Structure formats: C-alpha cells, structure tokens
Chain A
C-alpha cells in the first residue's frame, strides 16, 4: 500500500478531484447541546456529531475531518430505507437506475467492519442483490482514523481498532498540518495519478508518528472500556446461548418503547421486507428496512408469532448477532459503534447486556 502526505490546504483539491467522478459525501459537524460526556473512566469525551452530506450541496467551510463515525449507519448508502427493487408485468423488467457512483468520506473502521456483514448478506448466498452490488462495486471508500471516540464507542472491546487497515480505497490519518493518505485499491491508484503534484511520499518519521497517535487512542479507549467489563468476542456466542433462559432479557426490555431505533441505526442489521405497491401506476416491489424488535417481524398469516413478547425479540436480536453470524460468517454482527446505545430512549445498553450475560454464565448466583 502506498502512503502519501497531503497538506491541509490541499484536502479540498483532493475532494474536488474525487467529486468529478463521484457523488461525494463528506463529514460535517453537528454541534451537540451537551457540553461534555462524563463516563465511568472520568475522562471528558467529545459529544458533537458528524453527518455525511453531499459535497456538491454544502459550503466548503462546513467540511470537517470526522473525529469518529458519523451518526447515520454506512449501510444507509447501499440499501435505502425504502426503495423500489423491481417493477413487474409492465415496463422494463429490470430497472436500471442511473445513479452516480458514491464516494464516501469519513468512513471509520467500525463502519468497514459492518460492511463485511452487509456484503455477506447482499453479495453472498445463492444470488447477489443487484442494486447493492452495483452501488458497492462502483463506490469509492475514503476511510479515516478516529483521533477521538465517543462515550458509546466500544470497538476495541471486540478487537476492532479505531483506525482502518483494510477494506477501503483511501484512508486519511490526520498528522501535524495535514493527512497521511493510504492508497489501497486500483481505483484509488488511478485517481492518485492525477494528483501527484499534491502528494509527497510519506516519510518513515510520519508513519511512526501516525503509529504513536493510533496507539494513544487505543490506550485511551481501553482505559475508558475497563469499567464496562465487556466480554471478549470469543465468548459472545457462548454467553448468548447459555443465557437463553436468563432474566436479563425481560429485565432489560422494561424500558423499551419499541421504536426500533437500535435496529435502524445499527450498521450490521440488514433485515428487510418486500412490499407490493401500485400507488405509482405499475405494480412494483419495494424493499423496506425491517427490524426484529418490531412486533410483527415473525408473524405469519395465520396469526402465530414466534417472537410475540418483547424479551423474545431482544433475545432473538442477540442470537442473530452473536450466534447466527458467528456460526455462518465467522464473526459477530456488532462493530462496537455504539449507535444503538446513543439512539435508545430507554437507555438500553448492549455493553451492559453482554456484561450481565457474561457475569451470569461465569459467576452463578445461589
């Protein structure tokens, strides 16, 4: 992988070059009314949010380097909340949509981890999803290190680092008065050919400087995570299976208002429902995001509903993430981004649930 140094003042030129061929999204800052997020480890953590917005539609002064993952899950760029997947009987058999290829800047390592889950679902299996495949094949991923993290971030608990090392086309690491730019893919290399004037090959000193910064974030996050006692990824499958009859599920769902926010904000969730629609004339199929915390997720026509109670639905979600995916994909469907914790009005916290299940399994009471 080639690595270059890009000066601060040249970042915009880099973006402009990308925007020539792509619909570029870049991070912008959303100020938080909360001044500081104090946590159990007693460090003050940043509270602002980052939102990915269209480069072509914002003032250039609004563009920032996202310090950590954006509010919205990355999957929202590849499968939309509600979209047509085909028209049938009339019109074109295949709706070839004219979409500009996406370039996503501000993608973090947790997001890249989640994309592996989405790829498994939508590209794998017997047949690939054509819409997803087109978007994914065409997309340019401009990832970035996380120089900071939020209170809810816990990627390191699952051995996912707050800086990407694979799965991107470009990666930006802030360093001194600029960025180190990793160029990983053929697509990225071609773009770099026209940017040679802006790029200086990174020095060993710069690379080791980046290494030190990364290590520093690792250490701060590890200290932050200590009080949470989140179980290691290797035991997740065991504890959710062993905890099948645990009271934790019922207990934790007492404050759930069934908004399904955790599912919709989750970057590894992927469930959807096909729906038929004739409102626009021709019959068409829509693909709608669905979620297993919604009451009717598994309800069948006759009325039976295997997941009729809330605690069953929570348990199902954890079994899917930590049993089904571990079994079928080899790793858990949770990247530690903490979006589900942040969105939950009932303060249901995946870190706490996993810790409780782990403690129940290993420290039996009575």
Chain B
C-alpha cells in the first residue's frame, strides 16, 4: 500500500492519570507498534476536532504503548480531556530530531523542567535511567507554579532514590504542606552539583522560563552548544511543509524540536 504522509494510525486510550487540575497523562495503545526516539514528537488527532503536536512522556523502549502528558489549553486538548478510557485517537510520526544521547555520555547532565514541560523530559529521563552507567550524573531541577501543579508526584521520589540522580523541585508559591524550595526554578540552579563548564543543560518549559533558565545557564558557564532547548512551535504538518513553525532558517518540526542554544542564539525573538 502506498504510504500517505497525512494518514494517522489508530490508538486507543487505555488509562488516564490525573496529574493536576489541568494536566492528564493519557496512556494509549497504537494498533501497530510505534517507535520514537526521546525528544521526537508526534501529531495526535482527536477525530473530527483537530490535530496537535505532543512529545511522548513515556519510555522510548516501550513499543506497544505511549504516554502523553497533556495540559488542557485549546480546542483539541479540551476535547481530549473530556474523553475517557476506550476513546479513539489518531497518531502520526514520530517527527523531528530527538536528544543526541551519544553526546551526553560521560558528562554531568542538568535537566531543567517547568510545569508540563516535564513531560518530554520524563521520556528523556527514562532513556537516561536505562543506561545510567554511561553518564556521570543526572540532576533534575523542576519548577511548578504551586505544589498542586506538580506532575508525576508519585514518580519523582522514586527517581530521586537512584544513585547518580539528584532531584529538587521548587514552586513559585508554596502552601501549608509544602516543605520544599519556594522560588522560580532559576533560583536553584546555581547550587546544582554539576561542573558548569562541561555539563549538558537541557531545558523544557514555557518560553519565558526557557529564556531565563538559558540566560542563567550561560551565566553559570554553560557553553551555548551544550544547552538543549525544546522549541515547540505551532506545528501543523510535522513534515517541514506547512510553514508554521519556522525559526530563522529552521523548521521546529524538521530541524528540531530540540535545538542547541548555539543554533538559535543569533535569531531574533526566539522566546516569543
């Protein structure tokens, strides 16, 4: 059969995990085996409603199901949030370039996530955890608006138990039960136990957070070529054809969505 590049394959919602008031993780089972590299994204079709790009939050090693951690934000995600187990979705992909794990070997890795931006990073963490021996250290710094906005609440303590893994969460505004750090995620980066001059920095979150984290990392001594940013723009086709996600000479869908700051630093208004 000739392949149609726009054709989604069927996937059934098997499980839904409520992460926060506005974020759910959908565990879906595609009707055919589906592989992706960590950092790559897929286009998810809500039948008859529309399509939107998401980076899976599950372990790329698992081929028969995918986790998608999705915040209710627009038309497609609102409809998705109203769907239950057994619901039918379509998926296309994977698209783009993922994280170049080979280049992280032997290094300290500082991962900085903001809000639902931890979703693609969870997939990265699973990949790193499956070969922890190869990396010097994995340090995660996660920022959320409030304790109620933290995703993967049950998983975070599990991750922190591993050797070589150092994890700290900060919230912008605490509550009565919160005993952790209060403040923007940028305030807990300076004390991260990594060698700034040689470490890899990986950032994913809202644009404003990515901007200030990147500036902070540069300030701490990170090299622009060692800072990896997830630039998820409005991406319609995923194939480098529809033209929506241009960043300078790149398309986020084809050349990204993961870029180094070195690639982007001379382009105007990248944080808009």
Contact = CB atoms under 8 A, between A and B. Distances in A.
A93 B1 contact: yes
Interface in A121-172: 121-122, 125-130
A125 B241 contact: yes
Given A94-B4, A130-B2, A324 B249 contact: yes
Contact of B239 (A125, A301, A328): A125
Contacts of B242: 271-274, 290
A86 B6 contact: yes
B45 A276 contact: yes
Interface in A61-115: 85-86, 88-89, 93-96
A94 B7 contact: yes
A287 B6 CA distance: 10
Contact count band on B: 35 or more
Interface in A304-344: 304, 306, 316, 319-320, 323-324, 327-328
B5 interface: yes
A43 B76 CA distance: 56
B47 A89 contact: yes
Contacts, number: 119
Contacts of B154: none
A300 interface: yes
A88 B8 contact: yes
| Chain B residues touching A, majority SS | loop
A228 to B, nearest CB: 28
A246 interface: no
Interface stretch (A23-31, A188-196, A277-285): A277-285
A123 B9 CA distance: 23
B243 A290 contact: yes
Interface residues of A, number: 47
Interface stretch (B48-56, B123-131, B176-184): B48-56
B254 A86 contact: no
Given A278-B48, A298-B244, A302-B74, A272 B236 contact: yes
A301 B240 contact: no
Interface in B128-160: none
B249 to A, nearest CB: 4
B102 interface: no
B88 A89 contact: yes
Interface string A293-305: 0000111111110
Interface in B201-231: 207
A328 B249 contact: yes
Contact of B48 (A271, A276, A319): A276
A298 B3 CA distance: 28
A54 interface: no
Nearest to B7: A86
Contacts of B50: 275-276
Contacts of A292: 243
A130 B244 contact: no
A19 B74 CA distance: 49
B2 to A, nearest CB: 5
B45 A85 contact: no
Contact of B10 (A85, A89, A290): A89
Report which residue of A128, A273, A287, A300 has the largest number of chain B beta carbons within 10 angstroms of its beta carbon. Answer: A300
Contact of B47 (A127, A283, A316): A283
Interface of B: 1-8, 10, 45-52, 73-77, 88, 90, 207, 233-234, 236-237, 239-244, 246, 248-249, 254, 268-269, 272
Which 10 pairs from chain A and chain B are nearest by CB?
A301-B74, A271-B243, A278-B48, A306-B272, A327-B249, A301-B73, A125-B240, A85-B6, A283-B47, A86-B7
15 contacts: A85-B6, A89-B90, A94-B4, A121-B241, A126-B239, A272-B241, A273-B242, A273-B244, A276-B46, A278-B47, A290-B243, A297-B244, A306-B269, A306-B272, A320-B246
